[in-house]
Amino acid sequence: MDQDYRGEALYHFQGQVQAFSGSFSEHEFRVSLFWSPSGQTKIPANELVEQASASVAVHFPSSFEINVFYPPDQEVWINDGPMYAMALILVYEDLDDNREYTLGGAQDELRGGAADWVLFYAPEAIDSTLSPTGLDLAKGFSLVQIPINCRGTTYQIGTQDCGIPLGNACQTDLQCGPNGICLKRVDQTEFFNGYCAGIVDPNGCDPIGAVVVSRPVQLWLEQCELGTDCKQAICSCRPIGPQGFSFCSVCLPFGYFPTAFMQCKDGNPTPMMGCGEHLGESCIQDRDCQDLFDPGMCLSEYFNHSFTNGYCTVKNRSCKPLNGVMVSFPTDLWYKSCDADSKCRTNDGYFCNPYYQACFPRAPVSLSIFSGFRPEVEMLNVCVELWPE
């Protein structure tokens, strides 16, 4: 028997080198799993534990396949509630040719990684209410694209006149009234002209024409149904929940994608009949996706993504399907909402993207390789947060 034979792999996944900056070397470049005992992604390499048995050589240009034959050692399991483990997918240059990452050598071997992917391991299935991702985590290994909208967001509608010019441009909090605040930046998006929002106070005023977005910090935002409802020309009306209710839409700057960060999960809205009833289904041509109020669109190739066997989407901006998520990149399109891969066409390679909570074609893990790569700088966080703690 082959001495290297390790039985059937417990899990495997494929990837590709997306970007390479540097010079070729006589030494192998290897991609491997690096488990994070803290459950954090932005940490130095010396706080990670490599699973060398999963490492594989990678060439340029190239695709690669990682086979995982063993679960991670229990020393890297995270025991903050249900037990699980999380690994980063990193690349190192094997300078000492030992087929392992060598820490503390004369020259650091780390060369790159997949900044927006992690691998989870759970010895038992974890329910969404206890999962670190906010979504169901299956038993065994799960490859997850990050960041993830780990927390749901509920909505509340204001009914009082509070003297807050919601959505107005501003430079200071004083311009937004006694209960107002002038937003200048949220997450990575600049509110260039400022944006008057309301501060949520349980004993205070609930401004009419506003929706409260419940995050670690609660703020009232300008409610809308159409883009013309927004006071600033640089803002557009964005639904902030997968159901796309009109009363759950707010004015936000162009280029800002609220569905990636906010979810409206309360209430029982009535679906817009004849709108998006074929959302996410397979198709050959646009007419396969046609509804009463929407001509439909069949995606086969879109923004460098291949949609196997087609994917019905909604292109009518005023059509708001019940089970849809609007993704505004590169243009506004509705996708089928989901909370687990099983809600998507897995046989065709679709999965529930945890960032948008919508069914998308699964893309290969992409590696970026360049000198000076540091996980504490380059890796994305597992969970995205709209409002600061």
Amino acid 162: pLDDT: 85
CB 164 within 8 Å of CB 134: no
Same domain for 20 and 73, yes or no, is yes
Same domain for 136 and 185, yes or no, is no
Q: How many domains does the chain have?
A: 3
Same domain for 103 and 173, yes or no, is no
Tell me, yes or no, whether 349 lies in a domain: yes
What percent of the chain clears pLDDT 70, i.e. is strictly above it? 76
Tell me, yes or no, whether 340 lies in a domain: yes
Same domain for 26 and 101, yes or no, is yes
Same domain for 143 and 16, yes or no, is yes
Amino acid 107: pLDDT: 76
Instruction: Report the run of H or E that residue 351 belongs to, with start and end.
Output: strand 350-353
Q: What does the pLDDT average to over 129-151?
A: 80
pLDDT top residue among 241 and 122: 122
The dihedrals phi and psi of 196, each to the nearest 5 degrees, come to -75, 120
pLDDT top residue among 102 and 330: 102
Tell me, yes or no, whether 271 lies in a domain: no
d(CA 218, CA 176): 16
**13-17, 37-41, 89-93, 324-328, range with the lowest pLDDT:** 324-328
Q: What does the pLDDT average to over 183-201?
A: 77
Q: What does the pLDDT average to over 194-217?
A: 72
**155 has a pLDDT exceeding 60:** no
pLDDT digits (tens, 9 = 90+) for 215-252: 445 677 887 766 677 888 777 776 654 433 334 677 77
Same domain for 132 and 177, yes or no, is no
Structure token digits, residue 272: 């817009």
Residue 212 pairs in a beta bridge with: 156, 220
Same domain for 58 and 132, yes or no, is yes
Same domain for 80 and 173, yes or no, is no
Range of the domain at 303: 286-353
Q: What does the pLDDT average to over 40-67?
A: 87
- Strands 358-361, 297-302: parallel, antiparallel or unpaired by DSSP? unpaired
Amino acid 274: pLDDT: 62
Same domain for 143 and 93, yes or no, is yes
Tell me, yes or no, whether 216 lies in a domain: yes
Same domain for 179 and 249, yes or no, is yes
Same domain for 15 and 127, yes or no, is yes
Radius of gyration of the chain (CA): 23
Amino acid 141: pLDDT: 92
Same domain for 314 and 251, yes or no, is no
Tell me, yes or no, whether 126 lies in a domain: yes
Amino acid 47: pLDDT: 94
Amino acid 261: pLDDT: 34
pLDDT top residue among 112 and 330: 112
What are the residues whose beta carbons fall under 8 Å from the beta carbon of 325, sequence distance 6 or more?
242, 244, 259, 334, 335, 336, 337, 356, 357, 358
pLDDT top residue among 57 and 19: 57
Tell me, yes or no, whether 270 lies in a domain: no
**122 has a pLDDT exceeding 90:** yes
3: confidence class by pLDDT, cuts 50, 70, 90 = very low
387: confidence class by pLDDT, cuts 50, 70, 90 = very low
pLDDT digits (tens, 9 = 90+) for 265-298: 333 334 455 678 889 999 999 989 887 667 788 9
- Determine if the peptide bond prior to 330 is cis (ω within 30°): yes
pLDDT digits (tens, 9 = 90+) for 336-360: 888 778 889 999 989 887 767 789 9
Is residue 302 classed exposed, middle or buried when 0-12, 13-18 and 19+ CB atoms within 10 A define those classes? middle
